[in-house]
Structure formats: C-alpha cells, structure tokens
Structure 1
Amino acid sequence: MVQAAKAPIEAGSLVLTYMDRTGRIAVDQLADGFGMSKTQLAETAGLARETLYRVERSRAQRTQGRLREMLEIISRVSDWAGGKEQAMAWYRAQPLPAFGGRTAEALVKDGKAAAVRDYLDHMAVGGFA
C-alpha cells in the first residue's frame, strides 16, 4: 500500500495542541480537551471502542492518522465556528451539501478526509457549496 505524504502541520493547529513529545496525538488529553470519554472519541473518529483504551493500538499509524485527520478538519473550521467545541459540533452534525448531506464525521470515517479538506479550502477562497 502506498502511503500519502503527510501535509505539514499549520501553526496554531489543534494537531499541535494535542501532540505529545513523540509526535503522536495524546489520546487522553484529546478526549479531555473535548469533554469526551475515549469511547465517544473513538466513535467520533470512526474507530473501534477498544482502540483508544489499548496503548499499542492507540499509537498505531492508522489510529493516529484518523485522529490527525479529524483534528485537522476541526482546526480549519474552529475560527469561523466560534471555537473548538463549536467546530466539533459542526464536524459531527452539519450536513455538507456538496457531499449529499453527509457530515464531515461520516466522510472521515469513510476515508474521505482529503475531500473534506479540499472542500474547506474551496470554501475558504469564496467557492460555493
């Protein structure tokens, strides 16, 4: 399987906020930061519940990638959404017309985070939904 290159992390990104010294997303801090249990966080990211309770699985590349994608999207909308909590609510509940009314959460769970990022980039430069 060919791995896509990771995009550089923008300054002020939520990814940096929740990254530990090893460069991994710190699951406990992330869950606490959004007032969620690890079970709720796993569900939001489209991961199995046990994944975030087992250290070796929470550090796996797939898990870390999914959490990073979720945080990148939430970070991109947090300014205009009114903060990270509102951005999380948008991520979980706002239907996106360009994707048949699916939410960013549903799209990330289906492996379409890049499409959501492209959509947000398009909207940021004045594009239409």
Structure 2
Amino acid sequence: MMSPDAFAAEFGMRLSDLARYAKVDQATIFQNPDNPCLKAFLSDCALVMDKIQTMSGRSRAEAVSLFLHEPFPCFRGRTPFDLVLQGRVASVMDYLESVESGFVG
C-alpha cells in the first residue's frame, strides 16, 4: 500500500487534508501510519483508483484526475472521491463493474 506521504503527493493534497479525509489527527500520519482508519481510507482510494485506471487505460496521473474530478451522473454529479469520502466504496465499485460489463442502469 502507498505511504501517506506518497498518496498526498500523487493526489496533490496536503497531509492535513489527508488526515481530515481519513478522519485522523494529522500527527497520526507521522506517529502511527498503520492506524486502521488511515489504512482503510488509503486502501479504499487505491481500490477505486486501480479499477478506474484499469478500465480507462489511461496514465496514473489521468486516472487520479478522473478519480478526483469526474462526476458520475447516476450519483447526482458526485465524483468517485466524493463517494469514497461518504463510505460508498461498494457503490462505486458496483457502478464501475457495471460500466465495464457494458451495462449501466
């Protein structure tokens, strides 16, 4: 799994933002990078990101942009990142798998 520093750099965010998104104190990133909440957030993002990159066939940087900024119409314009923040990883993965199989409904 990607380190918190590497994640923040790749996603263009400050460590303070990463801490807020993962619902941990900023000190946790440095003192306890194996914190379960932090690891779960990083893992959820990685899962969705990997699927987006695989499906899109785009570069990692382009996939990051899609993850952060490309709204899903069926989720009222929320981005995959928005949905991960809401704890809706399963919904995102189901949607992506539906698109990948050729069915969107």
TM over 0.5: yes
Superposition pairs for residues 2-13 of structure 1, below 5 Å?
none
The residue number in structure 2 matching 1:69 is 44
CA distance in 2 between partners of 1:86 and 1:105 (Å): 14
Structure 1 residues 51 and 37, CA gap change in structure 2 (3 angstroms): same
Contact 1:39–1:52, Cα closer than 8 Å, also in 2: no
CA distance in 1 between partners of 2:94 and 2:88 (Å): 10
TM-score of the superposed pair, with normalisation by structure 2: 0.80
CA distance in 2 between partners of 1:90 and 1:97 (Å): 13
Contact 2:95–2:104, Cα closer than 8 Å, also in 1: no
CA distance in 2 between partners of 1:121 and 1:94 (Å): 17
CA distance in 1 between partners of 2:65 and 2:10 (Å): 14
CA distance in 2 between partners of 1:38 and 1:52 (Å): 10
CA distance in 1 between partners of 2:71 and 2:60 (Å): 18
Amino acid at match of 1:63: L
TM-score of the superposed pair, with normalisation by structure 1: 0.67
CA distance in 2 between partners of 1:28 and 1:50 (Å): 12
Match of 1:78 among 37, 53, 58: 53
Amino acid at match of 2:41: R
CA distance in 2 between partners of 1:83 and 1:27 (Å): 21
The residue number in structure 1 matching 2:5 is 28
Superposition pairs for residues 32-43 of structure 1, below 5 Å?
32-34=9-11, 36-40=13-17, 42=18
The residue number in structure 1 matching 2:74 is 98
Higher helix share: 2
Identity across the alignment (%): 22
Shift of 1:70: 0.5
Which structure 1 residue ranges, 5 or more long, are not aligned?
1-18, 20-24
CA distance in 1 between partners of 2:87 and 2:11 (Å): 22
Aligned pair count reads 103
Match of 2:31 among 55, 58, 61: 55
